[in-house]
Amino acid sequence: MKTITPLASLLGAAVVGGVHCGAAPAISKQPPNILMILADDARFDEFGYAGNKIIQTPNIDKLAARGVVFNNAYVTTAICVVSRASIFTGQHARAHGIWNFADPVGHERWQRTYPHLLRASGYYTGMIGKFGIGRKPEHLPSDDFDFWRSRPGNLSYFDKSSPEHLTKRIGDQALEFLSTAPANKPWCLNIGFKAPHAQDKAPREFPPDARDEKLYKDAAIAPPPTATDEAFKKLPQSVQRSEGRKRWLVRFATDEMALETTRDIYRLVTGMDREVGRILDELEKRGMLENTLIIFTSDNGFALGDRGMSDKWYMYEEGVRVPLVIVPPRGAAKSASKRIDDMTLNIDFAPTMLDYAGVKIPEKMQGVSLRPLLEKKKRGKTPAWRTEFFYEHRTLPKMIPPSEGVRSGKWKYIRWTSETPVTEELFDLEADPNELNNLAGNPTMAETLQKMRERCETLKAQAGGSL
């Protein structure tokens, strides 16, 4: 991609990111540093702060204690490439147009992403780990970052370049970035962990760091409540025959397989947590922690045998709901609540970062800054907020049945568009949080069903219209 020369820094010679050990923290009036940490396929409930009593995530738990936990964070499309494109652009897939793994981000599209806009405004920018869009080196915007340690594709936990686990290497590279960040610029570091994503088709699909092999070896991890044959039989026929079931057969088909798969996934999450701890310690050592906006989240969720399925893709909660912890810069007012129930989306991260950086948010960004929620105590009232969102999945339609729908506070409507006739699902999430009782065929729900159909069409048009 064409190299973009940054505009003159808005800060002049102000010292922001490169405060060294022993120096006073940067003042809050300066634009903050930004640390974006993205896990891969991490469920919303795979962390101690989320109530998981088995998994060990002490550093992310500390991050949650220091910052704000968003209880209802979702993605607009639950697959790596589309979700990452939505995070970079702040747009639904219908707007940014990236649906497949081989789709390059493209020069014109990249100009509207938060990393480009931050760099053009004077930020020192870095990308480490999984980028996740495009399969060829020339597809990657490597020359539009000051510090680049990424490669195309899904990456491998172990490869010939290093005997160390990929998660450890990513942590080392993050520390390298912090050591090279210039003292006269704020910085934005994007970390794309592969963990806990599978090493697809490998003999051991979720290989942990050797240091974590003994973790959870005796842990009795209960399967999800919907990991039953009854729940599987309620799925539409196209879903029952899909890639999610095929992957379930090699990961969760027996109790022993399910337990070992889940233990390995937990080991990968704990390994990632260790690197998060190293990075936070380095930030504190260098005096950067106080003036850094930190976002920890995942590109989508993951089914651990839920409904007799594996992976994400489908609009059920285990696939579309993600962890989200945000720590505002210390100088900013904190939320009145440490846990926020308002519905947030992955398209909100880009405008949030630009807002805190003092950079104009492009009109084409469809997400909204989360700053009003993070600072609502300062503003003296709870801001009006979204109560629903549009979901869509069209990637790999021969493997994953296309779907679309609406998730509101009480209702979830799913439409499986490849079935003839189209199959619909309607769930009352208050009465049926596990989404097991499909009300779409219930005559008493006809009015509600029609309203959700209409909302789906309206929100789809707002997301970018027809394809």
Crossing angle, helix 243-251 and helix 255-285, to 10 degrees?
A: 90
> Nearest-CA neighbor of 346 among 365, 362, 360, 363?
365
Out of 388, 420, 439, a domain closes at 388
Looking at the fold, whether 397 and 384 belong to one and the same domain comes out as: no
Q: Which of 87-91, 131-135, 247-251 has the lowest mean pLDDT?
A: 131-135
CA atoms within 13 A on the CB side of 212: 25
In this structure, what CATH number is given to the domain that contains residue 161? 3.40.720.10
pLDDT at 26: 41
The reply to whether 6 falls in a domain is no
Q: Cα(437)–Cα(434) distance, rounded to whole angstroms?
A: 9
Residue type, 31: P
The reply to whether 172 falls in a domain is yes
Looking at the fold, whether 345 and 451 belong to one and the same domain comes out as: no
Looking at the fold, whether 383 and 413 belong to one and the same domain comes out as: no
Q: What angle do CA 209, 300, 373 make, to 5 degrees?
A: 115
pLDDT at 19 over 60: no
Radius of gyration over alpha carbons of the chain, in Å? 22
pLDDT at 21 over 60: no
The reply to whether 416 falls in a domain is yes
Looking at the fold, whether 254 and 398 belong to one and the same domain comes out as: no
Q: Could you report the per-residue pLDDT of 365-391, keeping only the tens digit for each?
A: 999 999 999 987 555 566 789 999 999
Out of 348, 373, 388, a domain closes at 388
Sheet holding 68-70, edge to edge: 147-151, 124-130, 187-192, 33-39, 292-298, 324-327, 68-70, 339-340
Q: Could you report the per-residue pLDDT of 284-335, keeping only the tens digit for each?
A: 999 999 999 999 999 999 999 999 999 999 999 999 999 999 999 975 656 6
Q: Which of 16-20, 217-221, 280-284, 446-450 has the lowest mean pLDDT?
A: 16-20
pLDDT at 340 over 70: yes
Looking at the fold, whether 82 and 44 belong to one and the same domain comes out as: yes
Beta strand pairing status for 33-39 and 187-192?
A: parallel
pLDDT at 10: 34
Looking at the fold, whether 152 and 231 belong to one and the same domain comes out as: yes
Q: Residue 370 phi/psi, 5° resolution?
A: -85, 0
Residue type, 66: R
pLDDT at 429: 98
Out of 388, 423, 440, a domain closes at 388
pLDDT at 116: 98
The reply to whether 445 falls in a domain is yes
The residues near 143 (Cβ < 8 Å, ≥ 6 apart) are 1, 2, 3, 4
Confidence of residue 465 (pLDDT cuts 50, 70, 90): low
Q: Cα(411)–Cα(41) distance, rounded to whole angstroms?
A: 25
Looking at the fold, whether 409 and 353 belong to one and the same domain comes out as: no
Q: How many CB atoms lie within 10 A of CB 212?
A: 20
Confidence of residue 354 (pLDDT cuts 50, 70, 90): very high
Peptide bond into 421 cis (omega under 30): yes
Confidence of residue 20 (pLDDT cuts 50, 70, 90): very low
Structurally, how many domains does the chain consist of?
Answer: 2
pLDDT at 467: 55
Looking at the fold, whether 450 and 378 belong to one and the same domain comes out as: no
Provide the 8-state DSSP code for 364: T
Looking at the fold, whether 406 and 384 belong to one and the same domain comes out as: no
The reply to whether 187 falls in a domain is yes
pLDDT at 384: 83
The reply to whether 368 falls in a domain is yes
The reply to whether 182 falls in a domain is yes
Higher pLDDT, 2 or 414: 414
Q: Could you report the per-residue pLDDT of 51-63, keeping only the tens digit for each?
A: 999 999 999 999 9
Looking at the fold, whether 282 and 344 belong to one and the same domain comes out as: yes
pLDDT at 208: 98
In this structure, what CATH number is given to the domain that contains residue 458? 3.30.1120
Q: Could you report the per-residue pLDDT of 258-273, keeping only the tens digit for each?
A: 999 999 999 999 999 9
pTM of the predicted model as reported, rounded to 2 decimal places: 0.92
Stretch 228-235: mean pLDDT: 98
The residues near 64 (Cβ < 8 Å, ≥ 6 apart) are 47, 49, 325
Residue 431 belongs to domain spanning: 393-463
pLDDT at 17 over 50: no
pLDDT at 381: 64
The reply to whether 420 falls in a domain is yes
Looking at the fold, whether 264 and 333 belong to one and the same domain comes out as: yes
pLDDT at 190 over 70: yes
Confidence of residue 138 (pLDDT cuts 50, 70, 90): confident
Confidence of residue 125 (pLDDT cuts 50, 70, 90): very high
The mean pLDDT of the chain is 91
pLDDT at 337 over 70: no
Looking at the fold, whether 351 and 442 belong to one and the same domain comes out as: no
25 and 330 Cβ atoms separated by less than 8 Å:
yes
